[in-house]
Amino acid sequence: MVNLTIEINSRIPIHRQIYDQIKSFVSTGELKSGERIPSSRTMAGTLEVNYHTVNQAYQMLWKDGIINLEKGKKYVVAETRLGKNMCTDFEKREKEIIKEAIENGMSENEVLQVVQTILDRRNEGVKQ
Amino acid sequence: MIFNLSGFSLLSFFLIILIGIMLLLIPNMTEKTVVFGVRVPPSKLELPIFATLKKQYRSYVAILIVIFGIGSLLIPPSLVLIQALLTLLFLAPFFAIYLKEHYALERAKKEGGWYDDVVTRSEAELTINGAGLQVWIYFVPGLLILAILFVAGALLYPSIPGIFATHFGANGQPNGFSTKSIWSVFGTGFVGLVVSTFLIALTYVTYRTPLSIDPSIPQSNTRLRIFRKTFVVTIGLILVGLNLVFLITSLMIWGIVAIGPYGGVVLVLAPLFAILVILTLILFRTGQLGSNLKLKGDAVEPEGPNQEDNFVRKDDDVFWKAGMIYVNKDDKRLFVPKRFGVGYTLNFGRPGSWIFIIGIIAIPVVIIVLTLALR
């Protein structure tokens, strides 16, 4: 049960949102290797966005070895060591965000609380 | 066809009542954010226009049912063609009523700028909820009936006379005869086989289609999972109903089931009508995409400021002609969920949809050819 969510009016480009989410689903194991994902034209239909936008995201995912293109234009999640890479990548990005938050006057407790709230909310979502 | 066309008087009466009731129920079965084929933000659903239009729709359709119901009984049996066309004619004014409400709502939406002050979000399935369903199980009962037909036919084959009745009048008297052959004895069974194959193939193609998700609807994933199962169960039931009709028809032809006046019509149509009623109840309880389902945890309101609750689904009206016909070239899906009704409709942006329509026409042609071969 994995959904893709796109904020239409976000400053983050739509293809980037698609890329980020699929990448994170793979790293958390919600998308397993060998699992099929909808074709770019199907995804464009269900998300009601331009087909080229989805294609762009899929191309990026393919280049990064996150998904494979199989016979018959079927996209499947690739076998990757993304989990490990993701962890170091996550730590690096988190360091920057926390540094920025504390510089802007957030307390350590507040940072922890925000992270906890996000995790809680996510767990609720998974249960559903 | 086992009954004479004069039996259409009763047939069209019951059909009109049944279809009429289904049409009356449609506005209560659609997605919560689609009213008369118009996408609406949830915050606007409390506006008085919705109750007004729904009430108007219901009273107009009720009048239609009364006029056409009485009409079907009054038309003399000699005007067979009009009797046969009455059910089709019934749908024309119904569409007029639908279009009236559709355009009224569309106007109100445009004038009110309903999507001006909302934050939209697109959400869609990446993996399919309910994809792990053991679909074939739901086709077993229907296919079993078909198997009984063929086994019974094979056992009875030696005892069937060289020339036997294959067509009966509404009064139960035979008025058409055939010489004995594999085709004349099993003809109805072969029709059943073609229809069953088509329905099963159709189910496998549609039920796994990825769907959009409405972020304003709670527990969408669960709803879609149950909806998919309901859809497969529904097709399984239709298969049972149709194959029962084919089995009873065959038993009549083989002289196993004797029929009195009008007995043929009643015996053949009773299971079909029973299944249609059960079907309507099941579909109503589930609703399109599970919109009528009462789920655990529905009553619990999310606490605190949950930003995610303010998002509404992107307005997708542009892809829907008259709120009913889906045309989207960028969408690879051949089947998408209906907007006014329960189930799926074609994507006319795909060439495949036209091939499908031709296929739909081809099946009755095959049936007619087979029926002629029977005679």
Find the helix or strand (DSSP H, E) in which B323 lies: none
CA–CA separation, A76 vs A31, rounded Å?
10
CA–CA separation, B30 vs B54, rounded Å?
13
What pLDDT was estimated at residue A73?
77
- Please report where in the chains the tokens 């609720």 appear, as a residue: A124
Buried-exposed string A85-122: b where 16+ CB fall within 10 A, e elsewhere:
ebeeeeeeeeeeeeeeeeeeeeeeeeeeeeeeeeeeee
The CATH number assigned to the domain with range A14-77 reads 1.10.10.10
What pLDDT was estimated at residue B91?
87
What pLDDT was estimated at residue A84?
57
A103 shares contact with chain B (CB less than 8 Å): no
Q: Closest partner residue to B219 among A31, A39, A128, by Cβ? A: A128
What is the 8-class DSSP label of residue B347? Answer: B
Q: Closest partner residue to A35 among B127, B222, B314, by Cβ? A: B127
Whether B213 and A3 have beta carbons less than 8 Å apart is answered as yes
A41 and B330 within 8 Å at the Cβ level: the answer is yes
Hey, is B88 helix, strand or coil?
helix
What pLDDT was estimated at residue A80?
65
- CA neighbours within 13 Å on the CB side: how many for B284? 14
Instruction: Please report residues of B whose CB lies closer than 8 A to that of A39.
Output: 332
How close, in Å, is residue B31 to chain A by CA atoms? 16
Lowest mean pLDDT, pick from A25-39, A67-81, B312-326? A67-81
Residue of A nearest to B225 (CA): A1
Q: How many CB atoms lie within 10 A of CB B83?
A: 22
Question: Which residues face A6 on adjacent strands?
Answer: B122
Residue (of B81, B73, B96, B105) closest to B23 by Cα position: B96
A41 and B332 within 8 Å at the Cβ level: the answer is yes
CA–CA separation, B347 vs B320, rounded Å?
10
Find the helix or strand (DSSP H, E) in which B297 lies: none
What pLDDT was estimated at residue B307?
44
Residue (of B283, B253, B119) closest to B176 by Cα position: B253
CA–CA separation, B103 vs B49, rounded Å?
12
Residue of B nearest to A42 (CA): B332
Whether B273 and B243 have beta carbons less than 8 Å apart is answered as no
Q: Assign 3-state DSSP to chain B and report helix, strand, coil percentages, each to 5.
A: 60, 10, 30
Residues 25..54 of A with a Cβ closer than 8 Å to B: which? 25, 31, 35, 37-39, 41-51
What pLDDT was estimated at residue B50?
96
Tokens standing for B130?
């309910």
What pLDDT was estimated at residue B323?
94
Does residue B99 lie within any of the structural domains? yes
CA end-to-end span of chain A:
9
| Amino acid present at B218 | P
Domain count for chain B: 1
What pLDDT was estimated at residue B346?
95
What pLDDT was estimated at residue B142?
97
Residue (of B194, B328, B224, B360) closest to B286 by Cα position: B224
CA–CA separation, B23 vs A97, rounded Å?
56
Q: How many CB atoms lie within 10 A of CB B312?
A: 22
- Please report where in the chains the tokens 């109903």 appear, as a residue: B241
Domain ranges of chain A: 14-77, 82-127
Would strands B320-321 and B325-326 be described as parallel, antiparallel, or unpaired?
antiparallel
Whether B149 and B193 have beta carbons less than 8 Å apart is answered as no
What pLDDT was estimated at residue B130?
80
What pLDDT was estimated at residue B305?
42
What pLDDT was estimated at residue A39?
92
Residue (of A75, A84, A89, A85) closest to A31 by Cα position: A75
Residue B288: partners with Cβ closer than 8 Å, 6 or more residues away? B29, B30, B31, B227, B337, B338, B341, B342, B343
| ipTM value | 0.81
Q: Left if phi > 0, otherwise alpha if psi is -120 to 50, otherwise beta: which for A87?
A: alpha
pLDDT in tens, chain B (375 residues): 344 444 567 777 888 898 899 999 999 999 999 999 999 999 999 999 999 999 999 999 999 999 998 888 887 766 767 777 777 788 899 999 999 999 999 999 999 999 988 888 999 999 988 888 889 999 999 999 999 999 999 999 998 888 888 777 656 677 778 888 888 889 889 989 999 999 999 999 899 899 999 999 989 999 999 999 999 999 999 999 999 999 998 998 888 876 666 666 677 778 888 898 999 999 999 999 999 999 887 665 554 444 445 789 999 999 999 999 999 998 999 999 999 999 999 999 999 999 989 988 887 787 778 777 765
Sequential DSSP letters for A75-113: EEE----HHHHHHHHHHHHHHHHHHHHHHTT--HHHHHH
Q: Which residues of B touch A (CB under 8 A)?
A: 119-127, 129, 209-213, 215, 219-222, 314, 316, 319, 328, 330-333, 336, 347
What pLDDT was estimated at residue A117?
87
Q: Which is higher by pLDDT, A88 or A42?
A: A42
